[in-house]
Amino acid sequence: MRNKKIKIKNNTNVKSGSSKWVIVIVILSFFLSVSMEILSSALIPKADIISALVILIVLIFIGIIFDVVGVAVATADETPFHSMAAGKVKGATQSIWLIRNAEKVTNICNDVIGDTVGIISGAATAVVIAKILSIYNFDEIVLSLLLTGFVASLTIGGKALGKGFAISKANSIVYSAARVISIFKKK
């Protein structure tokens, strides 16, 4: 038997993360997480239990939405956006930019925002548990297990559903995100 050497071609269009980018991401992550923690710490303790749970669920869905956008950017096809850009369709050039910068965009969406929201939602869960325990006589361990399990399952299940959706509708999702970005573009 003969050993065949198989050559696997790597994607040479993707640039490896630079140390400058890592520093930017670390700083961005720090300020984003501090900002989100301040916001959630200001809102949740003052809210009633239902409002606190709604804030917690909104945080979870923010993480899911950004995870979907990150996966879509990583799997989208740039080709259809070129003809749209040639036709001056709003959001087309932003779509191309997102796809060409997929490594950075997915890092921001999935890691910076997604992971930060996950951490903040964990802290918010602890505040909601304390709020419920201050009003109702529940077993602390049981309540903590149930609410933590609910938050984890909603987050993981939502991201699992979102990934399949993001892969199958990648171009549409990227275009929708680009349209939102184009609103903030300077004219």
Q: Return averaged pLDDT per consecutive 10 residues of the chain, 187 residues in all.
A: 64 63 85 82 81 90 95 95 90 94 93 88 88 90 94 95 96 95 78
State how far the Cα of 128 lies from the Cα of 31, in Å rounded to an integer.
Answer: 24
Q: Which residues contact 33 (CB under 8 A, 6 or more apart)?
A: 116, 119, 120
pLDDT of residue 46: 81
Domain segments of the chain as ranges: 19-183
- Print burial letters for 37-65: b (CB count within 10 Å at least 16), e (below 16): eeebeeebeebeeeebbebbeebbbbbbb
Both tokens assigned to 45: 């303790």
Count CB-CB contacts under 10 A for residue 176: 15
pLDDT in tens, 92-101: 999 999 999 9
pLDDT of residue 17: 57
pLDDT of residue 159: 94
pLDDT of residue 80: 92
Q: Which of 163, 66, 56 is nearest to 115 (CA)?
A: 66
State how far the Cα of 143 lies from the Cα of 12, in Å rounded to an integer.
Answer: 50
Residues in the chain: 187
pLDDT of residue 156: 94
Q: Which of 118, 137, 8 is nearest to 61 (CA)?
A: 118
pLDDT of residue 1: 55
pLDDT of residue 123: 84
